[in-house]
Amino acid sequence: MDADETGLRARLVAAGVDLVLREGQSAVSLREIARTAGVSHGAPRRYFPTHVDLLSAIAREGFADLTARVERTLRDADPDPRTQLTALARTYLDFAAAHRGMFELMFRHDLLDSGRLRLRETSLPLFAVLADLVAQACRPTDAPAAVLAGVLWANLHGIAQLWAWGSLPLATGATDDDALLRAALDAHLGPARA
């Protein structure tokens, strides 16, 4: 993606992605990544001045992966906006559940350099897709579509996070997040099949 596919830079990022997917966020130490990539603990410094820079590059891969999954899902789904939004939401929650470590890392702003690596901006294309679909699908309101989309995103994100934490299953008694997802979409877009 950033040229230099076979170089150490790419190998380090790949090793980090592997690690965070397999072992979770806490396992992704700089030295462990270096070991996984088969180099000394000082080698990453040549490409990533600090641990934060390397983690940010790993998180970028996560955002790219999520974005690609969403785009694939939307391409395969019925073009009806409501259906597309449901598919997007399902993909978001599934990603969070299946790649929990990566999902955590992606939103650990204390571990990432969101400024210099334009990390927040990395999630914007995904948000633009969401905002566009919301503008098409939502029932008329007085709030700007961007705000509605932001609130919907926040809802998906909150469900993913509180579900992973165990609070939401405990509080709602639900055994999977599907009821929550449907309730959220109904709330933000109006009852299903309107």
Task: List residues binding DNA (CB under 7 A).
Answer: 7-8, 29-32, 39-43, 45-47, 49-52
Tokens of 148: 């509605």
Tokens of 83: 């259906």
Q: For DNA, which is the closer residue by CB, 65 or 113?
A: 113
49 binds, among its own copies, DNA, none (CB under 5 to 8 A by kind): DNA
29 binds, among its own copies, DNA, none (CB under 5 to 8 A by kind): DNA
Q: Using CA atoms, how far apart are residues 194 and 184, in angstroms rounded to an integer?
A: 15
Q: Using CA atoms, how far apart are residues 58 and 28, in angstroms rounded to an integer?
A: 10
- Tell which one of 15, 59, 131, 137 touches its own copies (CB under 8 A): 131
Site mask for its own copies (CB under 8 A), range 87-106, x = bound: -----------------x--
188 binds its own copies (CB under 8 A): yes
Do the beta carbons of residue 179 and residue 157 sit within 8 Å?
Answer: no
Do the beta carbons of residue 57 and residue 167 sit within 8 Å?
Answer: no
